Amino acid sequence: MKAIYNTLFKRTSTYAVGIMASVFFFERAFEVGSTTLFESVNKGKLWKDIKGKYE
Amino acid sequence: MMNAVTRAYLRAGSQTVSNVLKPATVASAQVQRNAHTDLQVPDFSPYRRESVNTPNRKDDSAESRKAFSYMLIGAGAVGSAYAAKGLVTAFVSSMSATADVLAMAKIEIKLSDIPEGKSVTFKWRGKPLFIRHRTADEISTERSVAVSTLRDPQGDDQRVIKPEWLVVIGVCTHLGCVPIANAGDFGGYYCPCHGSHYDASGRIRKGPAPLNLEVPAHEFPDDGTLVVG
């Protein structure tokens, strides 16, 4: 905790860069996670699930 | 450090004091303040963090406490940056062409429908599009033309991807009429409006037009199809 504060949060420059860098990972994780959740809730109703019936 | 309770107590106390003193000696209405060292400061220790519970203790937890606060603020900043990016992306992408426009912007042509020696006209982006299946004869004729003798010097290999297939926009470069296929002195296209003659590579050979017929961007994804656009 102390080390994180001293290296990252103490200066505004490192704090801002840290936020910008973590947005990339957050975005990827959030989008993959929400897509997985959506597909697991709607399992069996999606086109990729019923595609086999029409081909 | 004073809290609301002590302050209210002090005010009440000073009023009683001044009321007592006023008629007697002190002429001015100045409030006299006493020490009140006997006042009990309420005990807030159940509400305090463990690290700052005793006032005399040397505070070495400031960094970890600040780190926690900044962590929360930073998490909020990450979330709002993500939201802002989504908003900006939505507005910017709303400026791009819609799906129906993009679908009309390309045309896919089955080449087996066009017999050799024929020129077929399609409509593409509101303009006529000529696809010509050239014969071996036409190809060798166009290849042998000296580029330096042309008004708009372009070799045949610069204008076609596959020599058998000529793809040009059927708009005369003079004043925009639609030329007639397989007509004119050079066996290619002939514009009836002012008599421009184009050869079987769509190049201007005779007449008022200044430039060759325009070749649109096109590709052959496989042997039997042509995609223009």
Q: Identify the band that residue B92 occupies on the pLDDT scale cut at 50, 70 and 90.
A: very high
Superfamily of domain B104-228: Rieske [2Fe-2S] iron-sulphur domain (2.102.10.10)
Helices A12-41, B62-93: axis angle to 10 degrees equals: 60
Q: Considering only residues B42 and B10, tell me which one the structure prediction assigns the higher pLDDT.
A: B42
pLDDT at position A33 over 80: yes
pTM metric for this prediction: 0.50
Does the interface ipTM go beyond 0.90?
Answer: no
A 34-53 near B (Cβ less than 8 A): none
According to DSSP, residue B153 is labeled -
Count of CB atoms situated within 10 Å of the CB of A21: 11
Going across the sheet that includes B119-124, the strands are: B119-124, B127-133, B165-169
Boundaries of every domain in chain B: 104-228
B63 to A6: CB separation less than 8 angstroms, yes or no: yes
CB count in 10 Å sphere of residue B22: 12
Least Cα separation, residue A50 to chain B (angstroms): 25
Distance CA B43, CA A39 (A): 54
**pLDDT value at residue B29:** 64
Residue B14 pLDDT > 50: no
pLDDT level of residue B3 (50, 70, 90 thresholds): low
Q: What's the rounded Cα separation, in Å, for the pair B211 and B171?
A: 11
Distance CA A36, CA A28 (A): 12
- Alpha carbon distance B204, A20 (integer Å): 57
